[in-house]
Chain A
Amino acid sequence: MDIFDVFLLEAVLNGLLLGGILALLALGLNLIFGVIDVVWICYAEMIMIGMYAVYYLHNVYHLPLWFAFAGAIAIVAVGGAALHHLVIRPVLAAEPINQLLVTGGVLFFLQAGATLVFGVEFRNVGIRLPQLQVGEMYLSMARLIAFGVALAAMIGMSVFLKRSYLGTAIRAISQDRRIMPLMGVDPNRIFLVTSALGGALAGVAACLLVLQYDIHPAIGLSFGPITFLICVLGGLGNMMGGFIAAFIFAQFISVGGFFLHVEWGYVLAFLFFIAVMFWRPQGILGGK
């Protein structure tokens, strides 16, 4: 095999693994949008909080890593429910754009609040997983784990939504919010549970991201935008669409970054997004 092709294959495979984590990021946001019809612009900042939670629980309070992970997931889940209760609920009846903007305010609040409380220094949990050598290729172990967990979360979520009563209610509420009480369902409770679930998924993402990235108050800005775009590309609220879009984006970034530079990969991905929006504004899998 030509050496060039090995590197290209490596880029493709790493892109595949990156796709897994992007898909996980999109999953929580899609869940919330699908059910509550609100885009959390501050979703990546929720993840940032989760990453700090892992850091503090593990590196500052010296709790075992698994406990730090569980704690971070729980903290972000509670944060998600709180976000819904305190911020989203008061504007649910307002214009949709206000719901988008209010979470944008939360973005500023969380990002600046993190600067205030945690400082601007880069933090690191200090776990560096080895690179995995396959033949002549090197694959990121952290990404492989992230890919596996993301896949498991996705399957778990889909089983939960299909099989359980709560999951069925979550699917039902986006189709007809107002008759839910006739089924004995309190819509507010479903919204709260969904928000907590979306938060928990952000928490899971946080646990996977601390294995690969340094923690910083502004880290949300580096993967927030791409997460929204993946969701929109897949059709907002459409989990399968988001899943596919995540892998498409990841290939643009990884392979584009291989030929040019990683920023160009992002540029290509974003331009691709804009082009697709004009071709299918409802997203690749979104219904009309």
Chain B
Amino acid sequence: MLTLENVSAGYGSFQVLFGVSLEVKAGESVAVIGPNGAGKTTLLRVISKLIDATAGEIRMEGRSLNAVPAHEVIGLGIAQVPENRRLFPRLSIEDNLKMGAYLPAARARFAERLEMVFALFPRMKERHAQLAGTLSGGEQQMCAIGRALMSGPKLLLLDEPSAGLAPVVVQAIFEVVRKMSAEGYTVLIVEQNVRQVLKVVNRAYLLETGRIKSSGSAAELLNSSEIRKAYLGI
């Protein structure tokens, strides 16, 4: 579904990604793991076209994204849950979800998808009129995921959904991710919480200093000595 070929990117003269190639197949859930500053967030930003790739090509279902402006990416079926959730703090939960369904195609199915998101996160339904800025971290993450789902994406990009959350809440969030991939969503998730994320995805890539260091099935990576030493502390 999504392929990256030798993608390089950065901010001004500061290069972050060096020839990254990866693939996400339909129905799969894939994680990109790696330390802080490896370029994981940049990778998702480049896919969403929030920043432009300086080299290489990104394709969604065979179509090159190189010339697509940022605001048209979501129309191709790629929705992103950004780093730090980035909800609109002074809009209600429902309005935040409404923003997720901004595209005309999504507007038509707003009521239906709202029900779906409320079914997935009953808490959102209870608090639909509450301002997003007043929610707890975990609730904000749910709202952010819900907002991305409102567009009816083919591919969901998640940027560090566990960051800054209490362990119990982290569990709950990963449970949601697992549930979504079980329901057939294609998911690309970027995470530092390697142990947890590898339990819920099919495959993973290890990104270090802007380069893909290794890749494999979740089980393979969980058992690789390199990962166990560096990321799992075993």
A residues at B contact (CB < 8 Å): 165, 168-169, 171-172, 175-176, 178-187
Smallest Cβ-Cβ distance to A188: which chain B residue: B71
Is there contact, CB below 8 Å, between B71 and A169? no
What are 6 A-B interface contacts by the 8 Å CB criterion? A172-B95, A172-B99, A181-B73, A182-B48, A182-B79, A184-B103
What class of interface size applies to chain B in its complex with A?
Answer: 20 to 34
Q: Which of B50, B91, B106 is A172 in contact with, Cβ under 8 Å?
A: B91
Instruction: State how many angstroms separate the Cβ of B146 from the closest Cβ of chain A.
Output: 13
Chain B residues numbered 71-126 whose CB sits less than 8 Å from any CB in chain A: 71-75, 79-80, 82, 86, 88-91, 95, 98-103, 106-107
With A165-B107, A179-B82 known to touch, is A184 a contact of B71 (CB < 8 Å)? yes
Instruction: State how many angstroms separate the Cβ of B66 from the closest Cβ of chain A.
Output: 16
With A172-B91, A175-B90 known to touch, is A184 a contact of B82 (CB < 8 Å)? no
Interface centre among A168, A171, A184, A186 (most CB of B within 10 A): A184
Chain B residues positioned under 8 Å from A184 (CB to CB)? 71-72, 74-75, 102-103, 106, 151
CA distance A261 to B174 in the complex (A): 70
CA distance A176 to B147 in the complex (A): 15
Smallest Cβ-Cβ distance to A164: which chain B residue: B98
With A175-B90, A182-B50 known to touch, is A168 a contact of B99 (CB < 8 Å)? yes
Is there contact, CB below 8 Å, between B86 and A165? no
Q: Using A182-B48, A187-B71 as known contacts, list a sample of 19 further A-B pairs with CB atoms less than 8 Å apart, ordered by residue number in A.
A: A171-B90, A172-B95, A172-B99, A175-B88, A179-B86, A181-B49, A181-B73, A182-B50, A182-B74, A183-B71, A183-B99, A184-B71, A184-B72, A184-B102, A184-B103, A184-B106, A185-B99, A185-B102, A186-B71
CA distance A182 to B82 in the complex (A): 9
What is the predominant secondary structure among interface residues of chain A facing chain B? helix
Interface centre among B48, B49, B71 (most CB of A within 10 A): B71
The list of the 10 closest CB pairs from A to B, nearest first, reads A181-B70, A184-B74, A181-B71, A186-B71, A184-B103, A175-B88, A172-B88, A179-B86, A183-B102, A183-B99
Chain B residues positioned under 8 Å from A186 (CB to CB)? 69, 71
With A181-B71, A182-B79 known to touch, is A169 a contact of B99 (CB < 8 Å)? yes
Chain A residues positioned under 8 Å from B86 (CB to CB)? 176, 179
CA distance A257 to B174 in the complex (A): 67
Instruction: State how many angstroms separate the Cβ of A241 from the closest Cβ of chain B.
Output: 14
